[in-house]
Structure 1
């Protein structure tokens, strides 16, 4: 065996070792890009009372207060929460790693797109009209003859489509206030919306809850924190354990906003 051959062989082996080390470092670097703790996540919500809403510039609501209680339980300082329209926030948590959107109804259509922590609270999505505009029609076929509105890309919108309503005939709004104004101006006849959001809106605007009539219940909802599907399972488990441990506090928060435990 010549000296040149021996030198070449040693260099090749060294090259293999260097490449292996590079791959190990690269792999570790990629893994480290994923969130490892609650403080590494981006928290997203919408302005949609009573779950999460702005009042005099302050973000509050059932899901907001409960999230802060979760951070405290996990020994984490309060984190920033970004507020976006629902459709934008939904796309962000669907496509961006290390994001959390709340509060989201958990159902079979969404089940595999996210990882979940909850429940936060329960409620109903219904078709609602003005009481003085109620004509006794409660069948879906009868309601279809009217004009409907829903929040853009919200569960209420998707439930209407699932029930057979033409999406091109559903007026899409960006806020509860916008939908109610459309309803009061008779530009639409019904809105598909979360009932507790209507209660909160009526209370905050000094309207009477009796001014609105639930025509038909579309679904019973269970609200959760929805995490991007690539979030590490150990982090999801950490959140869920913390939530289970403060269940009494969760009930108290829900009752303070909604009057029900």
Structure 2
């Protein structure tokens, strides 16, 4: 969490000082979508969108001299937002895990951060997963089109084992109440939702790692390439700046 805060702080100041190539002027024509996925993107107590992915994007818009208001970012349940960027025009969704199965469905700019997708269980349930074959005896919860559930579908043949919800908070409570045995989700994000529901993340444990990957900004496939390239250029330059900060 400390690295995420430092990354956001350095970005907000350094991007305004560095002479970076600006993105195309029509960046403001791109529809922006996100979901509640803390600490990367989420709605704070004051109702304003927050998180490292949000702050990265705000800084990029400022550098492009675009008058940008975070309220223009639409917060939607993941299944709806995913469908919109998959089928829409000039649309961008964040934060999305970049995988081989998704690679040709979108255009990508990033990475935003590393990510670890796991299967979570209550410690008191004493679940042990040694191989994917062990999953056949459990009910697994996830969000439709979320990377966690997509990865589980590759391992589990019986769809009757899977229980879906559009809301992570619902899945956190289902896991706690024993309605599901395992929750397929990003590890840091799951911990946040457990705390939000008044639960102690230390009462739960990751019993199986589904994926270690990276989060990106995902654009609809028909988005103009110069828009994607412009954002990518800024992110690349920022990584160079942070490396210089870490190694004076």
Q: TM-score, normalised by structure 1?
A: 0.77
Q: How does 1:166-245 map to 2 (within 5 A)?
A: 166-205=158-197, 207-245=199-237
- Aligned equivalent of 1:150, options 142, 146, 164: 142
Contiguous gaps of at least 5 residues in structure 2? 1-23, 244-248
Contact 1:99–1:228 (CA under 8 A) maintained in structure 2: yes
Query: Distance in 1 between the 2:58 and 2:242 partners?
Result: 11
- 3-state SS of paired residue (1:142): helix
| C-alpha contact 1:74 1:242 (8 A) present in aligned 2 | no
Q: Which runs of 5+ in 1 are unaligned?
A: 1-34, 252-261
Q: Match for 2:85 among 88, 93, 113?
A: 93
SS in 2 for 1:215: strand
Contact 2:107 2:219 in 1 (8 A): yes
Q: Which residue matches 2:30?
A: 41
> Residues 179 and 103 of structure 1: is their aligned pair in 2 closer, same or farther, counting only changes over 3 Å?
same
The yes-or-no answer on 1:132 pairing with 2:124 is yes
Equivalent position of 2:15 in the other structure? none
Deviations 1:123-151 (A, max 9, x none): 11111101111243443222320111011
Cα offset, 1:242, TM superposition: 1.6
Whole-Å separation in 2 of the counterparts to 1:107 and 1:85: 20
Using the size of structure 2 for normalisation, the TM-score is 0.81
Aligned equivalent of 2:53: 63
Rounded to whole Å, the distance in 2 between the matches of 1:135 and 1:85 is: 29
Distance in 1 separating the partners of 2:103 and 2:92: 15
Distance of aligned partners of 1:208 and 1:37 in 2 relative to their CA distance in 1, 3 Å threshold = same
Shift of 1:250: 7.5
CA distance in 1 between partners of 2:53 and 2:201 (Å): 23
Shift of 1:230: 0.9
Structure-2 residue corresponding to 1:121: 113
SS of match in other structure, 1:217: strand
Tell me how far 1:101 sits from its aligned partner: 0.5
Aligned pair in 2 of structure 1 residues 197, 250: CA closer, same or farther (>3 Å)? farther
User: What is the DSSP-based 3-state SS (H/G/I as helix, E as strand, rest coil) of the residue aligned with 1:188?
Assistant: coil
Query: Considering only aligned residues, what root-mean-square deviation do their CA atoms show, in Å?
Result: 2.0
Deviation of residue 62 (structure 1)? 1.7
Report the alpha carbon displacement of residue 103 of structure 1 after superposing the two structures with TM. Answer: 0.6
| Residues in 1 aligned to 2:197 and 2:172: alpha-carbon distance in whole angstroms | 11
Q: Contact conserved, 2:127 with 2:207, CA < 8 A, in 1?
A: no
The count of corresponding residues between Structure 1 and Structure 2 is: 217
